[in-house]
Structure 1
């Protein structure tokens, strides 16, 4: 079949496709529910092929299914947007992603990050923008790992527990690195996932854009103006809050549930200012799918050459993670994420021209890592199950 000859209005589910995908996702949710010995609020899949667009929501008995217009927090899938912003700026010669973060921004005598004691964290003058994108810079993650003086908690968790509406800034997090001289390793000497490294990338995006505009601009300003807003190539309803008072998602939205031993937390409105550029994004599965699909096909803000760079520019220490992008067999290129009681993934497979967005609004930690991984694996199984139901190669279910 010549897919290029298909008209857009033909992108509708075939008679049995919707029910087959629903059956596959239902099967995964029920198996997870049995494994956990507790209910699973919802497991959701949006899948687009060359000829069909299908959304299914599997929910517990008596619950209303979510829809393709339901907003959800897609957490670290935000990193794809951060990488895209950096590479778009590189395309436009606003920055050099191979540069050290202590180097000057092109055409200025101003460095990417401040040359001040508050920013004097380990190896700062050796770290490149590229290494931050690859998680090979060794930047300590004050969002996930414990920080001295915060009773065994991460800096962001401790502060947010004490003051839920606290306005976080990247400078707050970097100060912890400098104050305690925190690091994992020297640049390129290892791989360690770091939200704080991406917070620094968000700072760089806002800083470069502010210099271009001549006044203060934010990470979200750049993303809206150049990547997803009404005047961009592919306008989409995606939002990346940077302010502590920007907590309310548009209705309808999916709450997230986090189960801990002896306690359950339900997340709705939430202060995401600590997660700018690393996990603050939200939108609908349709919008997230459209962005990742058009991006990875070279039909959005990045050229095909730059997309190839995003997918293949890996560090020697971890050949599986490029510039906020990794490859999964029979799923394609993309990312995943976990935040506020929701797990998600967004992937595009160039071999089959199939894209998927899967998410579950449950993070179960009652049995520690075992129950968490069961939820994490469920989003992959739902995506692979949906592909298999439509006749595409899939992975382990």
Structure 2
């Protein structure tokens, strides 16, 4: 009887010791991440951001920093909605692959099939648009952009704005990050689906995945928990520059939360939206005409962290910056969203991923 009690006591001691050790480990990890983020987002009276870390779908870290609205003195919360800028491209790329899966298009189709009078459209394919290898002029580098920045532009008019500009290079000749290509992809999504880009993304992705706090951006709609965007000037902060979201369109006009972006990442991993073959197209490296491989798939940069392959993408739009990193082998996802384009989450997010890798290996 005494021996049984002794064994029970030893088991309980071991359990509590392991529990305390895990808790201590968790606190150390949290302090490391807090310290890392605070270097850029530590001022509680400035615009801030939200960061989330998940491993195997389980949230390890989720915190908000700074203010969601300076004028109303509202503290940031983890539920805040941000514009995600070019992370929109992930959704546009997956929408194209969904349409291919339905047999409505092929990524090797020339874009002349969908825009008959597009210059050199017989030589530029959907694949070229997805991989930033089309050579068409990036509209964000055009001086005349300011003439349309606040106008409501239909997708066709937006394509017309840049399509007759001189090309930068022949299709497939080089990789050069390009917003225009993703605007053309949005136009193709509308042409093929018979629906607006906004509705297509809402019905086929947001609703299906349960991303109930994600939207096509609007300055007119009432969006609960919206974080307002800011710029930093010499004399302090100012409200973000107002643009028409029909201009960045399918290259950068979506809004989301860190929680919804985790749902997005899990949906991709579980093949909820795409079958494995289509999913693989998004996450493989491709080659230029000369056989040289480049580090971009469809909507994601394909790089490495500590020598381990990752998938990542950032975003920058007036008043906001974003960054997401996913390490498939370790199932680690890190997402950082900022409501000032003066605070970049890019390197912080990558460094959080490195710290999390180290934690996993212990």
What interval of TM-score do these two structures reach, taking the shorter chain for normalisation? 0.7 to 0.9
Partner of 1:329: 304
Q: CA deviation at 1:46?
A: 0.9
More helix by share: 2
Any residues of structure 2 matched to 1:28-177 within 5 Å, and which?
A: 28-32=36-40, 41-50=47-56, 52-53=58-59, 54-59=61-66, 65-103=75-113, 112-113=114-115, 115-116=116-117, 120-121=118-119, 123-142=120-139, 144-147=140-143, 150=144, 155=145, 157-160=146-149, 164=150, 166-177=151-162
Inter-partner Cα distance in structure 1 for 2:340 and 2:241: 13
Q: CA deviation at 1:83?
A: 0.6
Inter-partner Cα distance in structure 1 for 2:222 and 2:361: 36
CA contact (8 A) 1:55 1:67 kept: no
Inter-partner Cα distance in structure 1 for 2:360 and 2:192: 43
What per-residue deviation string (whole Å, max 9, x for no partner) do you get for residues 218-259 of structure 1? 012111222221xx2x221254437xx664352212222222
Inter-partner Cα distance in structure 2 for 1:191 and 1:272: 26
Q: CA deviation at 1:192?
A: 1.4
Inter-partner Cα distance in structure 2 for 1:348 and 1:323: 15
SS of 2:341's partner is: strand
Inter-partner Cα distance in structure 2 for 1:39 and 1:78: 29
Partner of 2:179: 195
Q: CA deviation at 1:378?
A: 3.1
Q: Cα gap change, 1:264/1:64 in structure 2, threshold over 3 Å: closer, same or farther? A: closer
Q: Cα gap change, 1:33/1:283 in structure 2, threshold over 3 Å: closer, same or farther? A: closer
CA contact (8 A) 2:314 2:346 kept: no
Q: Cα gap change, 1:335/1:247 in structure 2, threshold over 3 Å: closer, same or farther? A: farther
Inter-partner Cα distance in structure 1 for 2:54 and 2:239: 30
What per-residue deviation string (whole Å, max 9, x for no partner) do you get for residues 9-61 of structure 1? xxxxx745764454233322333379xx997532421111127313112338x
Any residues of structure 2 matched to 1:1-397 within 5 Å, and which?
A: 15-16=23-24, 19-32=27-40, 41-50=47-56, 52-53=58-59, 54-59=61-66, 65-103=75-113, 112-113=114-115, 115-116=116-117, 120-121=118-119, 123-142=120-139, 144-147=140-143, 150=144, 155=145, 157-160=146-149, 164=150, 166-179=151-164, 181-210=165-194, 217-229=195-207, 232=208, 234-241=209-216, 247-248=220-221, 250-260=223-233, 264-267=237-240, 271-295=244-268, 297-316=269-288, 317=292, 319-330=294-305, 332-364=310-342, 376-385=346-355, 387=356, 391-392=359-360
What per-residue deviation string (whole Å, max 9, x for no partner) do you get for residues 316-357 of structure 1? 255200111122324722421111222112232221112121
SS of 2:192's partner is: helix
More divergent stretch after superposition (326-335 vs 183-192)? 326-335
CA contact (8 A) 1:177 1:183 kept: no
What per-residue deviation string (whole Å, max 9, x for no partner) do you get for residues 91-119 of structure 1? 1101111110113xxxxxxxx12x24xxx
Inter-partner Cα distance in structure 2 for 1:301 and 1:353: 18
RMSD of aligned residue pairs (Cα, Å): 3.1
CA contact (8 A) 1:247 1:272 kept: no
- Figure out how many residues of one structure are paired with residues of the other and give that number: 330
CA contact (8 A) 2:41 2:65 kept: no
5+ unaligned residues in a row in structure 2: which ranges? 1-21
What per-residue deviation string (whole Å, max 9, x for no partner) do you get for residues 253-280 of structure 1? 2222222556743239863111211111
TM-score using structure 1 length: 0.73
Inter-partner Cα distance in structure 2 for 1:24 and 1:270: 38
What per-residue deviation string (whole Å, max 9, x for no partner) do you get for residues 160-187 of structure 1? 2xxx3x21223333323345x3321110
Q: CA deviation at 1:206?
A: 0.6
Q: Cα gap change, 1:129/1:361 in structure 2, threshold over 3 Å: closer, same or farther? A: same
Q: Cα gap change, 1:220/1:344 in structure 2, threshold over 3 Å: closer, same or farther? A: same
What per-residue deviation string (whole Å, max 9, x for no partner) do you get for residues 110-150 of structure 1? xx12x24xxx43x22210000100000011111x2023xx3
5+ unaligned residues in a row in structure 1: which ranges? 1-13, 104-111, 211-216, 365-371
